Structure formats: C-alpha cells, structure tokens
Structure 1
Amino acid sequence: LPIHLSIGRHFRQEGEVDRAILIHQNLLAHPQLSTENAHAVTFELARDYKAAGLFDRAESLLEELVFTRDLSDQARRLLLSILERQKDWEQAIELISKWDCKRDPDLAKRMGHYHCEIAVSQLESGRHNLARHHLDYASKVDPKNPRALLLLAQLKSAEHGFVQAIGYLRSLVEEHPDFSPLAVDLLVVCSDATSTKPKMRDFLKRIYLKHRNDRILLALA
C-alpha cells in the first residue's frame, strides 16, 4: 500500500492526475483494504480530485473523512483550502467554527479573512448592518486584523462616525505601519471633518519615529 500511495502521489505531482486517480480508485476497490487504509487512500483520491479541479467530488470525499478519527484534521484543512479556492466563505466559516480558533492563530486569521470577504460584499450592496456584524466578528476572532480595522473605519466614515473611524485608523497604523498608505487618505478626510488634522500629522510623525517606516513618510508628504 505505501508503495502504491507513493506512486500515486508522484503521478499527481507530475501532473498526471488521471493516472493517480486510477491508482487510488483501484486501491479502494481492493476487498482486503482495512478501514484505516481506506481512509488514507480516500484522502489521496480527494487530493487528486482537487488537483484535477473536480472540487465537488473532492468535497464529497472529505466531508466523510472529517468524521474519522485518524484523518479528521487533515481532511478539514484540505476541505477548507477547496472552499477558499471557490470563495465559499459561508461554508468555510461553518467548517472552521468546529475548531478551537483560540488555540490556533492561523485559523483565527483565516476566520477573520472570511468575515472580511463577506463584509466587503455587504458593503458593496449597501447592507451596513450585516457588514458591521461580520466585521465585529472578524475583530473578535482576530483583534489585530488590519483589513477589519480598515473596513470598520470605512464603514464608520460612510456613516459620518469620523471620530470612531479615526480610532480604527490609528490602531491600524500603530499595529501595522506598512498599511499606512492605505489608511492615510481616509485619515485625512476624517481629520478634516473633525478639525483634528494637526493631531493627525503629529500622530503619524510619532509612528514614523517609532518604526522608521518610509511608507509613513509617504503618508506625510
């Protein structure tokens, strides 16, 4: 079995996905295959289907494997990558919610990303309440998510909540100085609206002295 699995992986890596699929399908048809080995072969077949762009077939196999004891975590992560590829954010959120994001920073960042993607769609449709809901959740699971901070600032600015928008933008620049060019235009608008432009420039100068980031100099130009 290990030799056949290795050959199947080799074919898949070389782009000969049809041959890999055939090998793994033949292995699954073997009458003496144990349950544990069947799970291993099924997982490889799901990887074949993903490589071939047959996402529905891969999902179908992985949805069974997520309930197994030996491959549950691997199956979930592969299924998650397929959902990301298809931009199925709602289903990705449902899947990832079955993990403990507090113990896995990578999962928390992914969850925040999914909620931001949905929020962008809601903002474009003018559904500010739904957008706010997803952005609040993104900030909850990943408090330092730069995209969530920027989108929250944009949302508050659109609602004329300029003071709150400035708060989000300051947090964004402090935590992620490389994002300063993305924040500065809106920060200027909000500072003008609240007559706090001198404070804004002093803030950006302080951030530059702290991080010595040339992008902040561009923001001050």
Structure 2
Amino acid sequence: MVDSLSVWLVLPLGIALGWYLRARGPADPTQPASTSGASGVSPDALAGMSHLVNDDPDQAVASLLRATELDTQAVELHLTLGSLFRKRGELDRALRVHESLADRAQLTSEQMERTRFELAQDYFKAGMIDKAEELFEQLSHRGLYATAALEALISVHEQSREWRRAIEASRRLQAVGAQPRQPVIAQYYCELAEQARMGKDIDEAIRLANRALEEDGGCVRANLILGRLQEEAKDFRAAVKSLRQVPEQDLRYTPEIVEPLMRCSKELGELPAFLDFLREIDSETSASASALAQAQLMRETGMNPARFLAETFSASPNWALLEQLLSSIEPPADETSAVAMNNLREALKTAAAARNRYRCTSCGLAPGLLFWQCPSCKQWGSVIPADDRLIPKVS
C-alpha cells in the first residue's frame, strides 16, 4: 500500500515524468511507443519511480541520479525530487540531489541558475548559513533568480541579525522595482537602536531611532524606543513628546504608552494634561485608557476606585477594566459571601490572564508579548494589541 511518503513524491514526480516523456517522444517516431522502450525513458528513471512507490527513497535518489547522468532532459525530474525532499524536511537527500546537479557541466545556464537557487535554499533550511549566503549573493546580481535571491538574502541577514546588511539588501531590492521596503528598513534601524541601547550607547540609540522615523514616519516602534530612552535620560519633556506621537501613528498601540506617559507626566507635574490627552483618545476609540489611568491615580492617593471602575465598566466592558475592578472590590463581611466572591474573583482573574493580549494581523497568531516581527509568519509590524472588549464589535 502506498504510504504518505509515496503520495507526497509520486504524484508530483508523475507529473514531472509525464512532461519528461512528452519532451522526449518516441525514440523512433515511426514506431509505436510500446516498442520504443517506454518512449525512450531510461531504465534508471523508471527504477527510481519504482523505488519511490516501494518506499525506498535512498535507492530512488541513486536511480534518478544515474538517470540524470544519462540524459539532461531528466533535470526537471531531478529538481522536482530535490525540492520535494526539502519541503518534507529531508535535507540530506535534497542536498544530495541538488549538489549532484550543480556538479554537471552540461546544464544550460538557466538550469544551473535554478539548481544553485534550490541548493542555496537547502543550505539555508539546513542551517548552513554561510554557504546559503554565498550562493544567494552570487545569484542576486544577475539572472532569472536575482530578485528571489535578494529576498532570500534578506531572510538570511534577518536570521543572522545582521541588520545593516539587511538594510543594504533591501535597498537593492527596491532598486530593481520591488515593492517599497521603507517600513521594514525602519524596523531594521530600530533593531540597531535596541542593540546600541543594550551597549549603553544612548546617543547612538537615539540617532538610530530617529533614523527609523526618517525612513518611515509611521514607525510606532521608533517613538516607543525614543520615549523609553528619553525617560531613562530624565528628559521627560522629550519623552512625553515622543510617546504622544504613537496614537497619531496608530491608535491601536495606545495601551503601550499609558504607563510610561503617566510616569513622565508625574515628573513634570502635568497629570491633568495627561488625563485630558487620554480622554481625547478614548473618545476616538471607545477605549478606557483614561479610566484605567485615573483609577491608578486614585489608588495612589488612598482612594478606592471600585465605584468609578464599575460605572466605567458598565459603559464599556473590557478585560483591562475587569481586572482593575476585581482588584478594587472589598470582600463582603459575611464569610460565605466572602469565599464565593474570592472564588469568582480568582476565576475571572485566571480567564483575564489567559486572554490573548496581542494578535498578528497577517497570520492570526495570538502571542502574549508584543513582537515586532511575527514569530510565525515573519512579517514586520503585523502584531498589534488585541481587541480588549468583552463584547466584540459588530461590523
């Protein structure tokens, strides 16, 4: 019985072999196909297919390699096999197939380019980064795979965290007519800013964050970095200015600025202006950033914000308000009621803590942390704070 390996390999290879047969035609056009050795197909190619059906991929590789050595028209079959092995994660076999092809001097230039591109992908997936980078770099300067090689080269630099080289490759990609990459380049500058910050080079970190904004004026991350750096440097006025730009860039990231903006506003003695700013944002988004901030300030002055939070929660129920409300409610005097209230509080806290705080607008991943590059689909800037409302918005 044909198992999953054979299903994966035989169907596409059957298509490739069909193409191969049509390309060759009968060995003698005047003779029927049945008398021409299966249309001139080499015994090794047919043996390779037999080994695949019998779940013996290593023998299949050996047979098909011999067939390719006999007939250059089998190159397509060879490439299909190597690609399928890579997609299945069988990288040793994929490398064996593609390295064998790359050693063939009689390949056409187009076949050689494709073979080298496939081989570079094998190296990359196998973690052989230096070899992959070398091949992608060579292919990126000319030929059919120049654009694809540049895109792959950027992925290599991202994985190696070589952000300046990623910037250079991105600019080259833009120059050949690819879609604009300024937002992604801005993210690379933010990565460099974070590296500078970790190295205690604050001036350089600020310069790089500003460079990100020059590249993409809508880069939320750059202003968040600037706000943090400026707060750490006790330049609270500059930090407030940077943080207040975030909602102008993307209102969805407002929750990320509330706490640092409150701290800086306290230092400046400008809490009323801070609350007015958040109320204005709330009126545009139906959010509750100002209510949460006001509740925190009430606690700090010795007031219990439970009633205020309950009224706000009634008007705009969301998880953040619920968490704050639960922590503010005084336990009942009656012991039985107090136990029941505590159990309810703990259950709701558990549900609130388990909620998805962020989501990727590209692939739907719901991480608990804010990633600037989605760990799943690798898109930049696609992870945003999740909708916090208990009652979903009806569109």
| Fold shared per TM-score above 0.5 | yes
SS of the residue aligned with 2:269? Answer: coil
Unmatched segments (≥5 aa) in structure 2: 1-74, 296-395
Question: Which residue pairs with 2:137 in the alignment?
Answer: 63
Whole-Å separation in 2 of the counterparts to 1:60 and 1:18: 19
Tell me if structure 1 keeps the 8 A contact 2:151–2:173.
no
1:104 equivalent in alignment to 2:150: no
1:87 equivalent in alignment to 2:161: yes
Question: Which residue pairs with 2:189 in the alignment?
Answer: 115
Whole-Å separation in 2 of the counterparts to 1:73 and 1:217: 50
CA RMSD, Structure 1 to Structure 2 (Å): 2.1
Match of 1:190 among 260, 264, 267: 264
TM-score by length of 1: 0.90
Tell me if structure 2 keeps the 8 A contact 1:181–1:218.
no
Tell me if structure 1 keeps the 8 A contact 2:213–2:219.
yes
Whole-Å separation in 1 of the counterparts to 2:138 and 2:147: 12
Letter of the structure 2 residue corresponding to residue 145 of structure 1: C
Question: Which residue pairs with 1:15 in the alignment?
Answer: 89
SS of the residue aligned with 1:100? Answer: helix
1:179 equivalent in alignment to 2:244: no
Per-residue CA distance 1:167-212 (angstroms, 9 max, x = gap): 2111113323332232111101221122221111111111112122
Q: How many residues align?
A: 220
Question: Which residue pairs with 2:35 in the alignment?
Answer: none
Whole-Å separation in 1 of the counterparts to 2:226 and 2:289: 22
Whole-Å separation in 2 of the counterparts to 1:30 and 1:160: 65
1:149 equivalent in alignment to 2:190: no
Shift of the 219–103 alpha-carbon distance from structure 1 to 2, 3 Å rule, reads farther
Shift of the 10–218 alpha-carbon distance from structure 1 to 2, 3 Å rule, reads farther
Per-residue CA distance 1:11-52 (angstroms, 9 max, x = gap): 111111111111111211222211122111111101101111
Question: Which residue pairs with 2:199 in the alignment?
Answer: 125
Question: Which residue pairs with 2:100 in the alignment?
Answer: 26
Unmatched segments (≥5 aa) in structure 1: none
Identity within the alignment, %: 31
SS of the residue aligned with 2:172? Answer: coil
Question: Which residue pairs with 2:356 in the alignment?
Answer: none
Letter of the structure 1 residue corresponding to residue 174 of structure 2: D
Shift of the 17–220 alpha-carbon distance from structure 1 to 2, 3 Å rule, reads farther
Q: Which has more helix, going by share of residues?
A: 1
Shift of the 137–99 alpha-carbon distance from structure 1 to 2, 3 Å rule, reads farther
